[in-house]
A and B are shown apart, each in its own frame.
Chain A
Amino acid sequence: MIDTLAYPFMQRALMAGLLVGVVTSLLGVFVVLRRSAFFGDAVAHASLAGIAVGVVGGLPPLLPAAAVAVGIGLALHRLERVGRLSLDTILGFILPFFMAIGVLVLSLSPGFQPELLSYLFGSILTVSWQGLGVTALVAVAVIAVLARVGRRLVFAAFDPDGAHAAGIEVSRLLTLHHVLLALTIIASISVVGIVLVNALLIIPAATAKLLARSLGQMFVLAPLLGIASVLGGLIASSWVDAPSGPAIVLFAGMLFLTAWGRAAWRARRRTGKAVAEGGAS
């Protein structure tokens, strides 16, 4: 790994991975708080419609993909409020509808498009300096916005009615959260791809939830676990010469399973102790 770090492509991959790992896992804590784990999957898959328009129309594919994702992010909270449908149901419509548009648009373009595979499964080792710049820009913007509104966003995500009663603009904040998520998802597609991007949003945050004793700890642990997943996945993939995106997700999954096992073991031990104390008295 140290040797391969001498190569610029590996340096770019590492930097892009770390940026994405930190930002997705931070936003993932809010996703876990809002119990909207399906959001990342729906927006990532729906962005295929934008990628398809880009591929067929000769545009940089991530630009129309970002337009689709941000459009969904802007509309989602309003749709949730005016309709009689829950967030999950709306997302359940958005994912197949936009994906179907994407597949239909792609069918207009003859032949096989090899770059499509990199959007589906990620291609971190081919991230360009320009791509890295865009990822860094999104990461800095997301972290700056979270530093400013993060506490209010926690309040709005945990207790929307209470936040509204306290004078917080809940609708605007939740829409802002959706837009940040949409931009982060698009910036992460080049790293882990459409199929796996939701894993980076959810798994480090879920692992942190299992390990943390407070919400504050969860916000510290989640980005650390995101970084560990990216580093571990990249090292493992360079050792065994495997695709990096799936390796990162697998590594994150192993950390999650370890934390889950630990939590289950501790719960069992507590129950056993309580039963033993009950029997003794």
Chain B
Amino acid sequence: MRALDVKDLTVRFEGQDRPAVEEVSFNLEEGQIAILIGPNGSGKSTVLKAILGLVPSTGDVHVFGMPAAEARRQIGYVPQRLAFDMTLPLTVAEAIRMQLLGARDAEAEEAFHHFTDALGVTHLLGKPLGTLSGGQLKRAMIARAMVTRPRLLLLDEPEAGIDVGGEQTLYELLQRLVTHHRLTALVCSHELDLVFRYADQVLCLNRRLQCVGPPAETLTADALATLYGPSTALYRHRPQGMP
């Protein structure tokens, strides 16, 4: 089943000469992890925000066959960072429960316990959000996005502010969520090694979509040079053939 269908998506911000994102079209099948890559300012986060309806856009976005505006409950979102006051005494449990507004109590409680356990944040529930490390905060934010049981999860650079080991743990968790919960994930990232390890599909964006496909076939040295500039080089590790 098609999870996400994006057709001719264009985002133009007020007062800017050229669109931030121009005529982007792609689709994701259910159960895929797709990673959106591109240089800074290429429009990766804007694509996610346009799917969520957070920025004005033209074009068509369908989520599981429904217009995105009608399918908001099917979409979970993990922003790159939350611009909140770190000194607030808001606990992890409160931040996660906030997402459960309007959900039926027994179901909501079950989802709360299931995903806080799955993301390994149960022991952090009573802690203020501002005291968590980068990795703990990201896991808490993914648990927060998952408690409404979305079918499509959008993550904006989830590895930002996390060390290499933490990155791997986070993507392994994501892979498990995708497998166990029939989830589809669209992730913005700068980390090419994570793309090769975890993505079923890579989308190369620089305002316009420049290449789409399985990473091993799509991310050639030429494709990367077009995307990031001629000084980019691709080196493969011998044992695994990964960059």
Contact = CB atoms under 8 A, between A and B. Distances in A.
A complexed with B = yes
Contact of B88 (A164, A215, A216): A215
B98 A35 contact: no
12 contacts: A32-B85, A32-B88, A33-B85, A35-B85, A155-B101, A162-B79, A214-B89, A214-B90, A214-B126, A215-B89, A215-B91, A217-B89
A27 B52 CA distance: 29
Nearest to A211: B89
Interface string A208-247: 0100111111100000000000000000000000000000
Contact of A151 (B52, B101, B126): B101
Contacts of B148: 166
Interface string A167-209: 1100000000000000000000000000000000000000001
A165 to B, nearest CB: 5
B90 A158 contact: yes
Interface residues of B, number: 26
B75 A165 contact: yes
A161 interface: yes
Interface of B: 15, 49, 52-54, 72-73, 75, 77, 79, 82, 84-85, 87-91, 94-95, 98-99, 101, 126, 128, 148
Contacts of B15: 84
Contacts of B99: 155, 162, 166
Q: For the complex of A and B, list the 3 residue pairs with the smallest distance between their C-beta atoms, beginning with the closest.
A: A167-B72, A165-B52, A212-B89
A18 B216 CA distance: 68
B201 to A, nearest CB: 23
B147 to A, nearest CB: 11
Contacts, number: 70
A209 B98 contact: no
A213 B15 CA distance: 44
B84 A158 contact: yes
A161 B94 contact: no
Contact of B87 (A165, A209, A216, A217): A209
Which applies to chain B's interface (DSSP): helix, strand, loop or mixed? loop
Interface of A: 32-33, 35, 84, 151-152, 154-155, 158-159, 161-162, 164-168, 209, 212-218
Contacts of B75: 165
Contacts of B53: 164-165
A162 B72 contact: no
Contact of A209 (B79, B84, B89, B94): B89
B94 A215 contact: yes
B94 A216 contact: yes
Contacts of B79: 159, 161-162
A33 B101 contact: no
Nearest to A168: B101
Contacts of A209: 87-89
Residue of A152, A158, A165 with most partner-chain B CB within 10 A? A165
A124 B85 CA distance: 35
Contacts of A152: 101
Nearest to A151: B101
A161 B78 CA distance: 10
A79 to B, nearest CB: 14
Nearest to B87: A209
A134 to B, nearest CB: 33
A162 B77 contact: yes
Contact of A159 (B52, B72, B84, B91): B84
Contacts of A214: 89-91, 94, 126, 128
A15 to B, nearest CB: 31
A166 B89 contact: no
A151 B168 CA distance: 35
